Amino acid sequence: MDRAQKILVPLAAIVIFLVLWEFVVWVNGWPDYKMAAPSDLPPAFWKFHTLFLTMGWQTLWRTVLGLALAVVFGTFLGMVMGFSKIARDGLYPLLVGFNAIPKATLVPVIALIFIGQHDFNTVLMAFLISFFPIAVSVGIGLSTLEPEYRDILAALGASKFTIFRKIALPKTLPEFFGALKVAVTLAFIGTNLVEIVSPHGKGLGALFLSGQTNSDYPLMFAVLIALAVLGIVLYYAVVALEKIFAGWAERSPG
Amino acid sequence: MQKFIDIRGVKHAYKTKNGLLPVLDGLDVGVGEGEFCAVVGPSGCGKSTLTRLVSGLMRPDEGAVILDGQEVSSPRKTVGMAFQNPVMLEWRTILENVMLPLEIVAPGMGRAEKEARATHLLEMVGLKGFEKKRPSELSGGMRQRASLCRAIVHKPQVLIMDEPFGALDNFTREDLWQTMRDLRAAEPFTCILITHDLRESVFLGDQVIVLSGRPARTQYVLDVDLPADRTIDILYEPKAVAMLHLLREQIRIAQGRDGDLH
């Protein structure tokens, strides 16, 4: 019952959403260049299904690679900021300032610095847009570690590294995964920014753009849905990892 | 004659925005080996600073903390600590929580041996059958029992406790006093207990030290002349009641010295 509910409820929600969408388009009598209906999408997917597979894969691997870099660098930065108040005071304004820059404006800058390196630029943008929440949450998790947690090992003469490995790191995992869920969707935005603003015929963003150029509006909507599906898949991959590594943090209700 | 724990003429001050804040000024404590020393005093008088000095997490500005003939200058493996917060690692089972100090102190010890030791202690404090549970599945009192096991699992020479029963309700607290008494009978260790509870200090202590208000000095030392196998009832007998009155009076004097408390 519980398991069935976990799958059926989200599925039902999606079906209801699609029915409502279809209904709104039908009631208003919108043509597909104004708003495509869900029933327009399967033909669009079928017509370009090989493109969806190859370009979807391009988007996916570049997003995941950027995200992986963000995890490594964000965790490292978070550790530095979590353990050193000087680093925290020095880095925060820089980080916040960098994060406040709309990343779309960085696409042409990056494209000019690394001309023609499309894969590299895309991964770089996915990374740049998604490391911030990871760094901040790891930093906060480490800097708010209660002194008693440190003291139970420090009083035995344990090294700083041992305290980090046995206590600080696992204790920060729930915050880390919370940030990773935000970072996943951000990384997708980063990948698609480059694919759309600086197109090289690669990725779902380029497919979206070609739908626009060819006035194939159902294709554009189909790309958006494909992006949403990829986002959901990656998100639940993170949830699965969280269950494995930080499942202890989840309390049964009541 | 030097005691097992010998704290002599200790002065300590913290740096704050408004200059130095002296917390300890003329602290003298002597605890014999195997003895149980309870420390009471007004709020904020520097009792927790005392635990950090004895555990070697901090060094005093002046004076010396001597443990087993050696000056304490850094943390050592022969100390166990328990706090008001049981500080359970939520990602570990109760058994793994208790085994934690062994991983630091005795890295060469086999897992089976560590488990046996932790299981034995958990059974002694009445947590048999809870070894595989997560801390979040246990009550506050049970978590504190597990925390006591963790503090002594590596057979420390000295157990330092900072208000370990402070957050528990009265009946649970009295249960834990008896658990503590039984642990002491089974496992020899020297103990320093920081507490706000005078009844607790008399029930558990061999001596009770009253600290003055901040900056704290040793104001009064009471020898608790009661049998080792005490029961809670003893607290209602005239001898213990007289001690409690005496301590109460000493606390009143200690508070009086720190005028801003009233």
pLDDT in tens, B98-132: 999 999 988 888 899 999 999 999 998 889 999 99
Rounded to 10 degrees, the C-alpha dihedral A82/A243/B89/A130 comes to 0
Residues in A closer than 8 angstroms to B56, CB to CB, are 155
Are A170 and B89 in contact (CB < 8 Å)? yes
CB B193 within 8 A of CB B29: no
Q: What is the band of A252 on the pLDDT scale with cuts at 50, 70, 90?
A: low
Angstroms from B87 CA to nearest CA on chain A: 6
Strand B218-223 with B207-211, pairing: antiparallel
Phi/psi at A61 (nearest 5 deg)? Answer: -70, -35
Contact pairs from chain A to chain B, CB under 8 Å: 60
Local structure of residue B212 (DSSP, 8 states): P
Sequence length of chain A is: 254
CB B254 within 8 A of CB B211: yes
Q: Cα(A134)–Cα(A73) distance, rounded to whole angstroms? A: 9
Q: Cα(A20)–Cα(A5) distance, rounded to whole angstroms? A: 22
Q: pLDDT exceeding 90 applies to what percent of chain A?
A: 52
Domain B5-78+157-261: give its CATH architecture: 3-Layer(aba) Sandwich (3.40)
Interface test with chain A among B73, B87, B147, B192, by most A beta carbons within 10 Å: B87
Q: What is the pLDDT of residues A147-203, one digit of tens each?
A: 888 888 888 988 888 888 899 889 999 999 999 999 999 999 999 999 988 878 888
Residue ranges of domains in chain B? 5-78+157-261, 87-155
Query: Which three-class secondary structure state does DSSP give residue A46?
Result: helix
A254 within some domain: no
What is the total count of domains within chain A?
Answer: 1
Predicted local confidence at residue B167, as pLDDT: 85
Q: What is the band of A1 on the pLDDT scale with cuts at 50, 70, 90?
A: low
Smallest CA–CA distance from B156 into chain A, residue: A156
| Residue range(s) defining the domain that contains residue A51 | 41-249
Strand B5-16 with B19-31, pairing: antiparallel
Smallest CA–CA distance from A145 into chain B, residue: B87
Predicted local confidence at residue A19, as pLDDT: 95
Tokens coding B129? 């059958």
A3 within some domain: no
Residue A41 reports pLDDT greater than 50: yes
Residue A20: CA count within 13 A, CB half-sphere = 6
A189 Cβ contact partners less than 8 Å away, ≥ 6 residues apart: A103, A129
A88 within some domain: yes
Tokens coding A30? 């919108």
Smallest CA–CA distance from A153 into chain B, residue: B101
Predicted local confidence at residue A54, as pLDDT: 92
Complex ipTM tops 0.85: no
Residue A250 reports pLDDT greater than 80: no
A34 within some domain: no
Query: Which three-class secondary structure state does DSSP give residue A32?
Result: coil
Query: Which three-class secondary structure state does DSSP give residue B31?
Result: strand
Q: What is the band of B261 on the pLDDT scale with cuts at 50, 70, 90?
A: very low
Are B91 and A170 in contact (CB < 8 Å)? yes
Q: What is the mean pLDDT of chain B?
A: 88
Q: Cα(A226)–Cα(A41) distance, rounded to whole angstroms? A: 10
CATH code, domain carrying A66: 1.10.3720.10
B36 Cβ contact partners less than 8 Å away, ≥ 6 residues apart: B184, B190, B191, B193, B204, B205, B206, B207
Sheet holding B62-67, edge to edge: B19-31, B5-16, B62-67, B70-71
Are A152 and B100 in contact (CB < 8 Å)? yes
From B81, B90, B104, residue closest to A248, measured CB to CB: B90
Are B56 and A156 in contact (CB < 8 Å)? no
Q: Cα(B208)–Cα(A211) distance, rounded to whole angstroms? A: 83
Amino acid at B72: V
Q: What is the mean pLDDT of chain A?
A: 89
Query: Which three-class secondary structure state does DSSP give residue B195?
Result: coil
**If 0-12 CB within 10 Å is exposed, 13-18 middle and 19+ buried, where does residue A49 land?**
exposed
Residue B259 reports pLDDT greater than 70: no
A9 within some domain: no
Residues in B closer than 8 angstroms to A146, CB to CB, are 85, 87
CA-based nearest residue to A151, from B94, B100, B92: B100
Angstroms from B43 CA to nearest CA on chain A: 19
Local structure of residue B92 (DSSP, 8 states): S
CB B28 within 8 A of CB B9: yes
Are B75 and A154 in contact (CB < 8 Å)? yes
- Per-residue burial over A195-217, b if 16 or more Cβ lie within 10 Å, else e, is bbbbbbebbbbbbbbbbeeeebb
Q: What is the band of B258 on the pLDDT scale with cuts at 50, 70, 90?
A: very low
Q: Angle at which helices A118-143 and A106-113 pack, to 10 degrees?
A: 120
